[in-house]
Amino acid sequence: MPLFEYRCESCGSQFEELRAHNATDPVKCPHCGSKDVRKLVSCFAHSAGGSLRASAGGGNGCAGCGGGTCSTCGH
């Protein structure tokens, strides 16, 4: 089951939730209970050549660096 990152549009908190790809129930903020949440584009870790790197699905860097050069994800 994949881990997704969300941001609550009501209170601004960010949180993660394990959800099946085919889940249809709404995601609720664990801090305020709002259903007004947005799924974030997040980095994922993978092993390449024996070293652990962070990567983004779209190839434009992770949410932390936006595709620039950073020590967090190596982009």
pLDDT along the chain (75 residues), means of 10: 93 94 93 96 66 51 50 51
DSSP state of 11: T
Q: What is the pLDDT of residue 8?
A: 97
> What type of residue is 30?
P
Give how far Cα 47 sits from Cα of 26, 29, 37, 50, 53, Å: 32, 31, 31, 6, 6
Q: What is the pLDDT of residue 16?
A: 94
Residue 31: which of 14, 54, 45 has the closest Cα? Answer: 14
Residue written as tokens 């709404």? 26
Q: What is the pLDDT of residue 1?
A: 82
Give the Cα separation of 27 and 37 in Å (integer).
7
Q: What is the pLDDT of residue 30?
A: 97
Q: What is the pLDDT of residue 54?
A: 53
pTM: 0.58
